[in-house]
């Protein structure tokens, strides 16, 4: 695994995909040079199917020819292939980080589901999708707000005292995707610690370079 190199890889993305963005942010934060290949996942082409038969992004083609699909797999291989300042040293904190990551990716998934449902005609929309998204937003953001508020009392503005982790990046991506696809949920008014966190992390170069178009 240590012999795998991500340098000069090709990353197949959609500019608004939060799953592609979490990988793009991670690559930039690790100072890895990569080529972005942009696709419209709502109208996938044969070129995308050749890389990923599912027609989804992200998909990553290493310079050695191997192809990795799914953001979780890509990040798993990335963090196993090199020492990273964004991976806690202690196993206990690593497990906690992966737990937070799973929550934020789940929030991304539900937001995508809501967006796709909202593109249907009114009579074909499923009202349960919006209800469930609202419930997930409240549970996940309330839990995260409590964690960040606790950290703020310790003088830390992110999820872990040791510094930023992939979980922080995923949280920032999930929050901005909410603003993009579900702006009527004014979460900043209800979660002050999350607002502080978000306003800070979005100034990072990795977030500025990957900001989704509106």
Q: Are residue 113 and residue 170 in the same domain, yes or no?
A: yes
Q: 34: part of which helix (H) or strand (E)?
A: strand 34-38
199 in Cβ contact with 207 (< 8 Å) = no
Q: Are 106 and 200 in a shared domain?
A: yes
Q: 27: domain CATH number?
A: 3.40.30.10
Residues 6+ apart with CB under 8 A from 73: none
- Asked, for residue 209, whether it belongs to a domain, the answer is no
Look at residues 51, 81, 111 and tell me which one is the last residue of a structural domain: 81
- Over residues 154-180, the pLDDT tens digits come to 999 999 999 999 999 999 999 999 999
Judgement on whether residues 193 and 130 belong to the same structural domain of the protein: yes
- What does the pLDDT read at residue 3? 73
Q: Give the pLDDT confidence score for residue 79 in this predicted structure.
A: 96
Q: Which domain holds residue 36?
A: 9-81
* 214 within some domain: no
In this structure, are 113 and 159 located in the same domain? Answer: yes
Give yes or no: residues 72 and 102 share one domain. no
Residue 194 included in any domain: yes
**Residue 103: per-residue pLDDT:** 98
Instruction: Tell whether the torsion through CA atoms of 100, 105, 109 and 111 is positive or negative.
Output: positive
Are residues 104 and 67 part of one domain? no
What's the domain count of the chain? 2
**pLDDT tens digits, 80-132:** 999 999 999 999 999 999 999 999 999 999 999 999 999 999 999 999 999 99
The token pair that represents 160 in the structure block: 């872990």
pLDDT digits (tens, 9 = 90+) for 180-201: 999 999 999 999 999 999 999 9
Length of the chain: 214
Domain contains 86: no
In this predicted structure, what is the pLDDT of residue 95? 98
In a domain, 25, yes or no: yes
- Quick one: 104 and 172 in the same domain? yes
CATH number of the structural domain spanning residue 196? 1.20.1050.10
Whether residue 200 sits in one domain with residue 97: yes
Boundary-marking domain end, from 23, 50, 81:
81
32, 60, 81: which is the final residue of a domain? 81
95 lies in the same domain as 188: yes
Q: With a cut of 70, say whether residue 145 has pLDDT above it.
A: yes
pLDDT in tens, 33-84: 999 999 999 999 999 999 999 999 999 999 999 999 999 999 999 999 999 9
- CA 25 to CA 143: how far, in whole Å? 24
Structure confidence at residue 1 (pLDDT): 43
Q: Give the residue from 23, 8, 7 showing the smallest Cα distance to 210.
A: 23
């Amino acid at each position: 695994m240590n012999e795998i190199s991500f340098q000069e890889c090709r990353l197949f993305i959609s500019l608004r995909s939060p799953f592609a963005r979490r990988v793009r942010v991670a690559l930039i934060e690790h100072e890895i040079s990569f080529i972005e290949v942009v696709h419209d996942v709502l109208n996938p082409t044969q070129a995308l199917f050749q890389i990923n038969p599912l027609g989804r992004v992200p998909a990553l083609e290493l310079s050695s020819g191997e192809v990795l699909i799914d953001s979780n797999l890509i990040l798993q291989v990335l963090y196993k292939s090199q020492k990273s300042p964004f991976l806690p040293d202690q196993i206990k904190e690593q497990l906690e980080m992966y737990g937070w990551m799973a929550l934020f990716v789940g929030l991304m998934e539900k937001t995508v589901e809501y967006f796709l449902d909202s593109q249907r005609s009114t009579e074909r929309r499923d009202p349960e999708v919006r209800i469930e998204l609202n419930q997930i937003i409240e549970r996940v953001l309330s839990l995260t707000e409590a964690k960040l508020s606790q950290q703020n009392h310790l003088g830390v503005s992110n999820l872990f005292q040791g510094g930023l982790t992939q979980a922080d990046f995923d949280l920032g991506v999930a929050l901005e995707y909410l603003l993009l696809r579900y702006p009527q949920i004014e979460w900043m008014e209800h979660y002050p610690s999350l607002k502080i966190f978000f306003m800070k992390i979005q100034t990072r170069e990795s977030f500025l370079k990957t900001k989704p178009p509106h």
